[in-house]
Amino acid sequence: MISSRWPRSSDILPQSPMHREFLLGLKSSVFYLPSLGTDGSHHCGHLLNNIDILNLNRNTAYSFVKLKYRQAPIIMSTATEPTFSFATTAEEVATTFSNEIKGKNVLITGSSVGGLGFETARVIAKYAKLVVITGYDEERLKLSEDAIKKDVPNANIHRLTLNLTSFASIRKAAEAVNANPEPLHVLINNAAAPFVDFKLTEDGLETQLATDHVGPFLLTKLLTPKLLGAATPTYTPRVVFVSSVGHSYGTGVDFEALTSPKPEKYVKPNAYFQAKSANILTAIELSKRSNGKINAYSLNPGSIFTNGFTNANTVPLFKEMGLLLPDGKPNPTAVQWKTIPQGAATTVAAAFDPQLNDKPGAYLEDSVVANDKVASHSSDPVTAEKLWTVTEQLIGEKFTF
Protein backbone atom coordinates (compact mmCIF):
# COMPACT_ATOMS: atom_id res chain seq x y z
CA MET A 1 0.00 0.00 0.00
CA ILE A 2 1.58 3.28 -1.08
CA SER A 3 0.26 6.65 -0.05
CA SER A 4 1.46 10.24 -0.31
CA ARG A 5 0.25 10.93 3.22
CA TRP A 6 0.32 9.32 6.64
CA PRO A 7 -2.22 6.48 6.87
CA ARG A 8 -5.31 7.34 8.85
CA SER A 9 -6.81 4.97 11.39
CA SER A 10 -9.65 4.34 8.96
CA ASP A 11 -7.14 3.18 6.34
CA ILE A 12 -5.37 0.66 8.50
CA LEU A 13 -7.08 -0.41 11.68
CA PRO A 14 -9.76 -2.62 10.10
CA GLN A 15 -7.24 -4.47 7.94
CA SER A 16 -4.73 -6.06 10.25
CA PRO A 17 -4.15 -6.44 13.98
CA MET A 18 -0.45 -6.04 13.31
CA HIS A 19 -1.05 -2.82 11.37
CA ARG A 20 -3.16 -1.63 14.29
CA GLU A 21 -0.41 -2.48 16.78
CA PHE A 22 2.12 -0.53 14.74
CA LEU A 23 -0.05 2.50 14.17
CA LEU A 24 -0.88 2.79 17.83
CA GLY A 25 2.79 2.49 18.64
CA LEU A 26 3.78 5.12 16.09
CA LYS A 27 1.03 7.50 17.10
CA SER A 28 2.16 7.20 20.66
CA SER A 29 5.39 9.05 19.96
CA VAL A 30 4.64 12.58 21.09
CA PHE A 31 6.89 15.43 20.07
CA TYR A 32 7.87 18.79 21.57
CA LEU A 33 9.31 21.51 19.36
CA PRO A 34 12.31 23.62 20.36
CA SER A 35 10.64 26.72 18.96
CA LEU A 36 8.16 26.36 21.77
CA GLY A 37 10.81 25.70 24.35
CA THR A 38 9.31 22.34 25.13
CA ASP A 39 10.56 18.84 25.68
CA GLY A 40 10.36 15.39 24.10
CA SER A 41 8.07 12.67 25.32
CA HIS A 42 6.81 9.40 24.02
CA HIS A 43 4.43 6.52 24.50
CA CYS A 44 5.31 3.44 26.49
CA GLY A 45 4.01 0.94 23.94
CA HIS A 46 5.05 -2.70 23.74
CA LEU A 47 7.22 -4.11 20.97
CA LEU A 48 6.25 -7.14 18.94
CA ASN A 49 8.67 -9.78 17.76
CA ASN A 50 7.16 -9.38 14.28
CA ILE A 51 5.56 -6.07 13.43
CA ASP A 52 4.28 -4.31 10.37
CA ILE A 53 6.27 -1.14 10.38
CA LEU A 54 5.75 2.04 8.45
CA ASN A 55 8.75 2.60 6.22
CA LEU A 56 9.18 6.21 5.20
CA ASN A 57 11.17 6.64 1.99
CA ARG A 58 13.05 9.65 0.73
CA ASN A 59 10.14 10.73 -1.49
CA THR A 60 7.85 10.91 1.57
CA ALA A 61 5.72 8.07 0.26
CA TYR A 62 4.84 5.46 2.82
CA SER A 63 4.57 1.72 2.63
CA PHE A 64 4.30 -1.16 5.03
CA VAL A 65 7.18 -3.56 5.30
CA LYS A 66 7.58 -6.31 7.83
CA LEU A 67 10.66 -6.25 9.98
CA LYS A 68 11.70 -9.04 12.29
CA TYR A 69 14.00 -8.48 15.19
CA ARG A 70 14.69 -9.88 18.61
CA GLN A 71 13.89 -7.95 21.72
CA ALA A 72 17.22 -8.15 23.50
CA PRO A 73 17.28 -6.94 27.10
CA ILE A 74 20.32 -4.76 27.64
CA ILE A 75 20.77 -5.90 31.23
CA MET A 76 19.83 -9.26 32.62
CA SER A 77 18.70 -8.43 36.14
CA THR A 78 15.70 -8.32 38.40
CA ALA A 79 13.47 -5.32 37.65
CA THR A 80 12.78 -2.56 40.12
CA GLU A 81 9.92 -3.41 42.43
CA PRO A 82 6.70 -2.18 40.75
CA THR A 83 5.81 0.40 43.37
CA PHE A 84 5.00 2.84 40.56
CA SER A 85 2.50 2.63 37.71
CA PHE A 86 1.30 4.37 34.55
CA ALA A 87 -0.58 6.93 36.66
CA THR A 88 2.26 7.75 39.06
CA THR A 89 3.16 11.46 39.05
CA ALA A 90 6.54 13.15 39.24
CA GLU A 91 5.47 14.70 42.53
CA GLU A 92 4.88 11.24 43.99
CA VAL A 93 8.23 9.94 42.77
CA ALA A 94 10.06 13.00 44.10
CA THR A 95 8.38 12.62 47.47
CA THR A 96 9.35 8.95 47.59
CA PHE A 97 12.99 9.76 46.84
CA SER A 98 13.16 13.09 48.69
CA ASN A 99 16.06 11.88 50.81
CA GLU A 100 17.99 10.96 47.66
CA ILE A 101 17.27 14.37 46.10
CA LYS A 102 18.29 16.43 49.14
CA GLY A 103 21.70 18.01 48.77
CA LYS A 104 21.93 17.21 45.05
CA ASN A 105 22.78 19.59 42.21
CA VAL A 106 20.87 18.80 39.02
CA LEU A 107 21.03 20.18 35.46
CA ILE A 108 18.04 19.71 33.14
CA THR A 109 18.04 20.60 29.43
CA GLY A 110 14.80 21.80 27.84
CA SER A 111 12.95 23.39 30.74
CA SER A 112 10.23 25.56 29.19
CA VAL A 113 6.86 25.91 30.90
CA GLY A 114 4.41 23.33 29.56
CA GLY A 115 6.98 20.60 28.99
CA LEU A 116 8.39 17.60 30.78
CA GLY A 117 11.63 19.33 31.67
CA PHE A 118 9.80 22.08 33.51
CA GLU A 119 7.74 19.65 35.58
CA THR A 120 10.85 17.61 36.31
CA ALA A 121 12.66 20.73 37.51
CA ARG A 122 9.69 21.90 39.57
CA VAL A 123 9.33 18.74 41.65
CA ILE A 124 13.07 18.24 42.08
CA ALA A 125 13.49 21.86 43.19
CA LYS A 126 11.42 21.13 46.30
CA TYR A 127 14.27 19.07 47.73
CA ALA A 128 17.45 19.66 45.69
CA LYS A 129 20.28 21.95 46.68
CA LEU A 130 20.43 23.45 43.18
CA VAL A 131 18.52 22.99 39.92
CA VAL A 132 20.01 24.39 36.72
CA ILE A 133 17.45 24.89 33.95
CA THR A 134 18.62 25.37 30.38
CA GLY A 135 17.22 26.58 27.07
CA TYR A 136 18.18 28.72 24.11
CA ASP A 137 15.63 31.47 24.93
CA GLU A 138 16.46 33.54 28.02
CA GLU A 139 12.95 35.00 28.22
CA ARG A 140 11.38 31.54 28.39
CA LEU A 141 13.94 30.47 30.97
CA LYS A 142 12.95 33.41 33.16
CA LEU A 143 9.30 32.41 32.84
CA SER A 144 10.22 28.89 33.93
CA GLU A 145 12.19 30.14 36.92
CA ASP A 146 9.36 32.44 38.01
CA ALA A 147 6.80 29.63 37.67
CA ILE A 148 8.92 27.24 39.74
CA LYS A 149 9.54 29.82 42.46
CA LYS A 150 5.85 30.65 42.61
CA ASP A 151 5.24 27.04 43.62
CA VAL A 152 8.53 26.55 45.50
CA PRO A 153 9.54 29.98 46.89
CA ASN A 154 12.77 28.71 48.42
CA ALA A 155 13.92 26.85 45.32
CA ASN A 156 17.51 27.47 44.27
CA ILE A 157 17.21 27.86 40.50
CA HIS A 158 19.96 28.86 38.10
CA ARG A 159 19.24 29.76 34.47
CA LEU A 160 21.70 28.70 31.79
CA THR A 161 21.45 29.64 28.11
CA LEU A 162 22.15 26.61 25.95
CA ASN A 163 21.61 25.94 22.26
CA LEU A 164 22.18 22.25 21.58
CA THR A 165 22.58 22.85 17.83
CA SER A 166 25.73 24.88 18.43
CA PHE A 167 29.00 23.40 19.68
CA ALA A 168 30.11 26.91 20.64
CA SER A 169 27.01 27.45 22.77
CA ILE A 170 27.40 24.05 24.42
CA ARG A 171 31.04 24.73 25.27
CA LYS A 172 30.20 28.16 26.67
CA ALA A 173 27.44 26.70 28.85
CA ALA A 174 29.70 23.89 30.05
CA GLU A 175 32.40 26.40 30.97
CA ALA A 176 29.90 28.26 33.13
CA VAL A 177 28.89 25.06 34.92
CA ASN A 178 32.48 23.94 35.39
CA ALA A 179 33.40 27.34 36.83
CA ASN A 180 30.96 26.77 39.69
CA PRO A 181 32.73 25.15 42.65
CA GLU A 182 29.73 22.91 43.32
CA PRO A 183 29.77 19.35 41.91
CA LEU A 184 27.07 18.13 39.52
CA HIS A 185 25.23 15.06 40.75
CA VAL A 186 22.69 14.51 37.95
CA LEU A 187 22.57 15.57 34.29
CA ILE A 188 19.18 15.11 32.62
CA ASN A 189 19.34 15.29 28.80
CA ASN A 190 15.68 16.07 28.21
CA ALA A 191 15.57 18.60 25.34
CA ALA A 192 14.63 17.46 21.83
CA ALA A 193 13.85 18.87 18.38
CA PRO A 194 11.71 16.26 16.61
CA PHE A 195 10.09 16.54 13.21
CA VAL A 196 11.95 19.68 12.14
CA ASP A 197 12.63 20.50 8.50
CA PHE A 198 16.02 19.61 7.08
CA LYS A 199 18.62 22.17 8.02
CA LEU A 200 22.31 21.97 8.72
CA THR A 201 23.68 23.43 11.93
CA GLU A 202 26.67 25.78 12.00
CA ASP A 203 28.75 22.66 12.67
CA GLY A 204 27.45 20.85 9.56
CA LEU A 205 25.07 18.43 11.29
CA GLU A 206 21.41 17.74 10.61
CA THR A 207 19.46 19.77 13.19
CA GLN A 208 17.34 16.98 14.65
CA LEU A 209 20.23 14.58 15.24
CA ALA A 210 22.36 17.46 16.52
CA THR A 211 19.80 18.53 19.10
CA ASP A 212 18.71 15.08 20.20
CA HIS A 213 22.02 13.20 20.14
CA VAL A 214 25.27 14.94 19.22
CA GLY A 215 24.63 18.07 21.29
CA PRO A 216 23.74 16.15 24.47
CA PHE A 217 26.73 13.86 23.85
CA LEU A 218 29.09 16.84 23.76
CA LEU A 219 27.46 18.42 26.81
CA THR A 220 27.80 15.16 28.73
CA LYS A 221 31.46 14.87 27.74
CA LEU A 222 32.25 18.42 28.85
CA LEU A 223 30.44 17.98 32.17
CA THR A 224 31.93 14.57 32.95
CA PRO A 225 34.65 16.01 35.24
CA LYS A 226 31.95 17.88 37.14
CA LEU A 227 29.91 14.70 37.48
CA LEU A 228 32.91 12.69 38.62
CA GLY A 229 33.50 15.34 41.27
CA ALA A 230 30.16 14.43 42.83
CA ALA A 231 31.13 10.81 43.40
CA THR A 232 31.54 9.52 46.95
CA PRO A 233 31.99 6.03 48.40
CA THR A 234 28.21 5.85 48.72
CA TYR A 235 27.05 7.85 45.68
CA THR A 236 27.50 7.43 41.92
CA PRO A 237 26.56 10.42 39.72
CA ARG A 238 23.92 9.89 37.04
CA VAL A 239 23.18 10.90 33.46
CA VAL A 240 19.61 10.50 32.17
CA PHE A 241 18.57 10.45 28.51
CA VAL A 242 14.89 10.99 27.68
CA SER A 243 14.24 8.62 24.77
CA SER A 244 10.99 7.29 23.27
CA VAL A 245 9.19 4.24 21.98
CA GLY A 246 10.21 5.73 18.63
CA HIS A 247 13.57 4.02 19.15
CA SER A 248 11.92 0.75 18.13
CA TYR A 249 10.85 1.86 14.63
CA GLY A 250 13.05 1.76 11.57
CA THR A 251 16.35 -0.12 11.70
CA GLY A 252 18.38 2.04 14.05
CA VAL A 253 21.07 4.66 13.59
CA ASP A 254 21.90 5.62 10.00
CA PHE A 255 25.57 6.54 10.27
CA GLU A 256 25.60 8.18 6.85
CA ALA A 257 22.77 10.49 7.93
CA LEU A 258 24.74 11.28 11.07
CA THR A 259 28.07 12.04 9.41
CA SER A 260 27.07 13.16 5.89
CA PRO A 261 23.47 14.44 6.00
CA LYS A 262 21.77 15.04 2.64
CA PRO A 263 18.42 16.79 2.14
CA GLU A 264 17.27 14.36 -0.56
CA LYS A 265 17.60 11.46 1.88
CA TYR A 266 16.08 13.20 4.87
CA VAL A 267 12.75 12.06 6.33
CA LYS A 268 11.69 13.74 9.56
CA PRO A 269 10.31 10.71 11.43
CA ASN A 270 13.28 8.55 10.46
CA ALA A 271 15.71 11.07 11.91
CA TYR A 272 13.64 11.15 15.08
CA PHE A 273 13.61 7.35 15.40
CA GLN A 274 17.40 7.28 14.92
CA ALA A 275 17.98 9.95 17.56
CA LYS A 276 15.87 8.12 20.13
CA SER A 277 17.75 4.90 19.38
CA ALA A 278 21.00 6.81 19.84
CA ASN A 279 19.87 8.00 23.29
CA ILE A 280 19.54 4.44 24.54
CA LEU A 281 22.78 3.28 22.94
CA THR A 282 24.65 6.22 24.47
CA ALA A 283 23.33 5.44 27.95
CA ILE A 284 24.48 1.84 27.59
CA GLU A 285 27.95 2.74 26.31
CA LEU A 286 28.47 5.56 28.82
CA SER A 287 27.72 3.21 31.69
CA LYS A 288 30.11 0.62 30.26
CA ARG A 289 33.00 2.98 29.56
CA SER A 290 32.80 4.80 32.87
CA ASN A 291 33.16 1.43 34.61
CA GLY A 292 31.02 2.29 37.61
CA LYS A 293 32.06 5.94 37.89
CA ILE A 294 28.85 7.24 36.25
CA ASN A 295 25.51 5.47 35.91
CA ALA A 296 23.52 6.37 32.80
CA TYR A 297 19.87 5.55 32.08
CA SER A 298 17.38 6.09 29.27
CA LEU A 299 13.60 6.18 29.41
CA ASN A 300 10.26 6.49 27.65
CA PRO A 301 8.03 8.98 29.49
CA GLY A 302 4.76 8.23 27.67
CA SER A 303 2.29 10.20 25.53
CA ILE A 304 1.61 13.70 26.81
CA PHE A 305 -0.44 16.44 25.14
CA THR A 306 1.38 19.75 25.45
CA ASN A 307 1.59 23.05 23.58
CA GLY A 308 3.80 21.33 21.02
CA PHE A 309 0.62 20.04 19.42
CA THR A 310 -0.57 23.56 18.60
CA ASN A 311 2.40 24.38 16.38
CA ALA A 312 1.28 25.14 12.84
CA ASN A 313 4.13 23.10 11.36
CA THR A 314 3.06 19.83 12.97
CA VAL A 315 -0.71 20.05 13.52
CA PRO A 316 -1.51 18.70 10.01
CA LEU A 317 0.84 15.75 10.51
CA PHE A 318 -0.56 14.90 13.94
CA LYS A 319 -4.07 15.01 12.48
CA GLU A 320 -3.02 12.63 9.71
CA MET A 321 -1.50 10.33 12.30
CA GLY A 322 -4.78 10.38 14.19
CA LEU A 323 -3.32 11.91 17.34
CA LEU A 324 -5.38 15.05 16.89
CA LEU A 325 -9.06 15.34 16.06
CA PRO A 326 -10.13 17.61 13.18
CA ASP A 327 -10.64 20.46 15.67
CA GLY A 328 -7.06 20.09 16.92
CA LYS A 329 -7.94 18.51 20.25
CA PRO A 330 -6.24 15.28 21.39
CA ASN A 331 -7.87 12.10 20.14
CA PRO A 332 -8.86 10.19 23.30
CA THR A 333 -8.93 6.86 21.44
CA ALA A 334 -5.52 7.18 19.75
CA VAL A 335 -3.30 6.39 22.72
CA GLN A 336 -3.45 6.21 26.48
CA TRP A 337 -2.53 9.78 27.29
CA LYS A 338 -0.52 10.80 30.30
CA THR A 339 -0.64 14.16 32.01
CA ILE A 340 2.56 16.17 32.19
CA PRO A 341 3.04 15.24 35.88
CA GLN A 342 2.64 11.57 34.96
CA GLY A 343 5.01 11.91 32.01
CA ALA A 344 7.78 13.46 34.10
CA ALA A 345 7.61 10.71 36.73
CA THR A 346 9.94 8.31 34.92
CA THR A 347 12.62 10.96 34.53
CA VAL A 348 12.63 11.61 38.27
CA ALA A 349 12.81 7.88 38.97
CA ALA A 350 15.74 7.44 36.58
CA ALA A 351 17.58 10.27 38.29
CA PHE A 352 17.08 9.21 41.91
CA ASP A 353 15.73 5.68 42.45
CA PRO A 354 18.41 3.96 44.57
CA GLN A 355 17.28 0.54 43.31
CA LEU A 356 18.85 1.47 39.96
CA ASN A 357 22.34 1.63 41.42
CA ASP A 358 23.11 -1.92 40.31
CA LYS A 359 21.39 -1.51 36.92
CA PRO A 360 23.62 0.87 34.92
CA GLY A 361 22.45 1.41 31.35
CA ALA A 362 18.87 0.41 32.14
CA TYR A 363 15.82 1.62 30.19
CA LEU A 364 12.70 2.69 32.11
CA GLU A 365 8.97 3.01 31.44
CA ASP A 366 6.30 3.97 33.96
CA SER A 367 9.10 4.69 36.45
CA VAL A 368 10.40 1.10 36.51
CA VAL A 369 13.03 -0.85 34.57
CA ALA A 370 11.73 -2.10 31.21
CA ASN A 371 14.79 -3.48 29.41
CA ASP A 372 12.63 -6.08 27.66
CA LYS A 373 10.93 -3.27 25.71
CA VAL A 374 14.11 -2.14 23.97
CA ALA A 375 14.50 -3.11 20.30
CA SER A 376 17.64 -5.09 19.49
CA HIS A 377 19.02 -2.37 17.22
CA SER A 378 18.83 0.04 20.15
CA SER A 379 20.66 -2.23 22.60
CA ASP A 380 23.28 -3.87 20.37
CA PRO A 381 26.70 -3.44 22.03
CA VAL A 382 28.57 -3.33 18.72
CA THR A 383 26.35 -0.52 17.45
CA ALA A 384 26.68 1.30 20.76
CA GLU A 385 30.48 1.19 20.54
CA LYS A 386 30.48 2.35 16.92
CA LEU A 387 28.07 5.20 17.67
CA TRP A 388 30.28 6.34 20.53
CA THR A 389 33.41 6.36 18.37
CA VAL A 390 31.71 8.14 15.46
CA THR A 391 30.17 10.77 17.72
CA GLU A 392 33.49 11.46 19.43
CA GLN A 393 34.92 12.09 15.96
CA LEU A 394 32.07 14.49 15.19
CA ILE A 395 32.64 16.58 18.33
CA GLY A 396 36.42 16.35 18.05
CA GLU A 397 36.84 15.26 21.66
CA LYS A 398 37.21 12.03 23.61
CA PHE A 399 35.73 11.14 26.97
CA THR A 400 38.08 10.51 29.88
CA PHE A 401 36.97 9.06 33.20
Q: Over 97-151, what HEC string results?
A: CHHHHCCCEEEEECCCCCCHHHHHHHHHHCCCCEEEEEECCHHHHHHHHHHHHHH
- Report whether 350 contacts 108 (CB < 8 A): no
Q: In sequence order, which residues have a C-beta less than 8 Å from that of residue 305 and are 6 or more positions away?
A: 30, 330, 337
Percentages helix, strand, coil for the chain (3-state, rounded to 5) are 45, 15, 40
Distance CA 341, CA 345 (A): 6
Strand partners, 158: 132
Q: Over 211-267, what HEC string results?
A: HHHHHHHHHHHHHHHHHHCCCECCECCEEEEECCHHHHCCCCCCHHHHHCCCHHHCC
Distance CA 152, CA 203 (A): 39
In Å, how far from its chain's centre is CA 360? Answer: 17
Q: Which of 266, 272, 297, 363 is catalytic?
A: 266
Would residue 127 show up in a list of annotated catalytic residues for this protein? no
∠ CA 161-275-175, rounded to 5°: 25
Helix (H, G, I), strand (E, B) or coil at 389: helix
Q: Which residues are catalytic?
A: 266
